[in-house]
Structure formats: C-alpha cells, structure tokens
Structure 1
Amino acid sequence: MRPQALQDGIEPDPRFTLANERTFLAWIRTGLALIAGAVAIEGFGVDLDETARGVVAVALTGLGVAVAVGAGIRWLRVEQAMRHGRPLPFPTLVPFLVLASVLVAAALLVLVLTR
C-alpha cells in the first residue's frame, strides 16, 4: 500500500523512481557525514576551546539533521512531480547546504585563528 501522498498520478518508470531513491540515499549519507564530523570534533577533542568545540559540533549535527529531513522532503516532491508529469522542483537543499557549510567553516576558521 502506498502512502496517501503517492496515491494519485501515473506510476513513473521504475528506473526514475530508483534514481530518485539513490539520490535520497546520497543526501542521507551527506547528513550522516556531517553528524560524524560533529562526533569527531567533539569526541576526539579537537584543539579548540570547549565551548567553541561544542558550538561547532552542535552546528554540524543540526546541519546533518536538516539535510536528512530535506532529503526526505525532496524525495517526496520529486516523486510527486514525476507522477504528475510536472518539471522537477528546484533543489533548495543545495544552496542551503552550501550556505550553511560555508558559515560553519568560516566560524571554525575564525575560532582556530583567534585562539
């Protein structure tokens, strides 16, 4: 039985559905990598002030969770677009991830250079 959000429309070619699932899994891996980076920074005691290390770890964890949630939303939006013959939605996850990654990296760089 399909979820309610996928009940209507025409069943897409299985290759497209499977490609959408592979893309979803790639985004999930990205989210897990961000969370693993947070664990590494916090767990292995990177040479930073304890508060700064905690802030960076929380930021990376939050970013990883946001990417995972965004991946699920994107998967559903793409699946619905394929079922209704609409153009694929803009990948809002990409600019979000770029901006957030740059901000976290800049904050980490400032913390390292000012200690």
Structure 2
Amino acid sequence: MNRKDNENRCRQTGERQHIQEHLANERTFLSWIRTSVAILAFGFVIEKFSAYLRFLEYQGSMFSTPTRGVAAYLGVAFSIMSGLVVILAAARYLQTRSQINQGTYRPSLTADLLLAATLLLVTVLVVIYLLRTPLPR
C-alpha cells in the first residue's frame, strides 16, 4: 500500500467518524424532542380529562357551572415546560454541532441536569395534583 492510499483511508475513516458524531448528536436531539412531546401530551391529557370529570360532575349535580381547576394550570405549566425543553434541546444541539465541527466537544452536565430537573418538577407536580384530587365516589 502506498502513502497516498493510506492518507485516503485515514481521511475516509475520519470523515466516517465525523458523520457518526453528527448522527449521534441528531439522535440525542430527537430524544429530547420526544421527551418534550410526551410532557406536552401528558399536560394536555390531564387538563382535558379533568375538564371531562368536571362536566360529568356538573351534569350530575346541576348546582354550579364547571370551573377551571388546578388541572388547567398544570396543563399550562406542562406546556411551558415542554417549550423550555425544546429550546434547551435546540441550543444544546447547535452547541454540540459546532463543537464537533471544531473538534472541541465537551459534554454539558448543565443541559443534562436541566432536563432531569424539568422531569423531576413534572413528577412532583403530578404527585401533588394526584394527592390533592378527591377520589371519585
């Protein structure tokens, strides 16, 4: 094997590695987006199911009109959190992309901890909501 073939093979291996790093970055970005969609959907389901239960209660009692409860605010909070996760994911994706191109990649503990904190907040809010919601009779 001559020197030129060896250089071409090294360059191809480097390009392949570069492509793999970008593809991994995209997979990570997409998993953040899936998490955001799940948070958004969960908030939507909580709010709409709560509205349905309030409507059934109204139909059964005929005493007062259904009002917006805590679930509506929880749904809005989840929507906001979902948007923040998308912003964080996009920022992290672009930062990682730039670092890969420059060959200076550094993992970000901050971004990972922000995502974990967001999911922990969602969990705490759901638990509080479930503990404060009366059981159906």
TM-score range, shorter chain: 0.7 to 0.9
Listed one character per residue, the Cα deviations across residues 89-114 of structure 1 (whole Å, up to 9, x for unaligned) are 41423211222332333233233323
Of 73, 82, 93, the residue aligned with 2:100 is 82
SS of residue in 2 equivalent to 1:87? coil
Which structure carries more relative contact order (alpha carbon 8 Å, separation 6+)?
Answer: 1
Q: Superposition pairs for residues 44-59 of structure 1, below 5 Å?
A: 44-45=49-50, 50-59=68-77
Structure 2 residue aligned with 1:23: 28
Of 38, 41, 44, the residue aligned with 1:36 is 41
Which structure has the bigger radius of gyration?
Answer: 2
CA 1:86–1:18 in structure 2 vs 1: closer, same or farther (change >3 Å)?
A: same
Q: Which runs of 5+ in 1 are unaligned?
A: 1-10
RMSD of the TM alignment (CA)?
Answer: 2.4
Q: Distance between the aligned counterparts of 2:122 and 2:28, measured in 1?
A: 24
Does the 8 A contact of 1:67 with 1:97 survive in 2? yes
> Quick one: which amino acid aligns to residue 71 of structure 2?
R
Listed one character per residue, the Cα deviations across residues 33-83 of structure 1 (whole Å, up to 9, x for unaligned) are 100101111122276983310121111111111111111111110011111
Does the 8 A contact of 1:77 with 1:89 survive in 2? no
Q: Distance between the aligned counterparts of 2:95 and 2:30, measured in 1?
A: 15
Q: Which runs of 5+ in 2 are unaligned?
A: 1-14, 55-66
SS of residue in 1 equivalent to 2:72? helix
Q: What is the identity percentage for the equivalent residue pairs of Structure 1 and Structure 2? A: 30
The ranges of structure 1 where at least 4 consecutive aligned residues each deviate by more than 4 angstroms after the TM superposition are: 46-49
CA 1:35–1:114 in structure 2 vs 1: closer, same or farther (change >3 Å)?
A: closer
Deviates more, 1:21-30 or 1:92-101: 92-101
How far apart are residue 84 of structure 1 and its match?
Answer: 1.2
How far apart are residue 15 of structure 1 and its match?
Answer: 1.3
Q: In the alignment, is residue 102 of structure 1 matched against residue 120 of structure 2?
A: yes
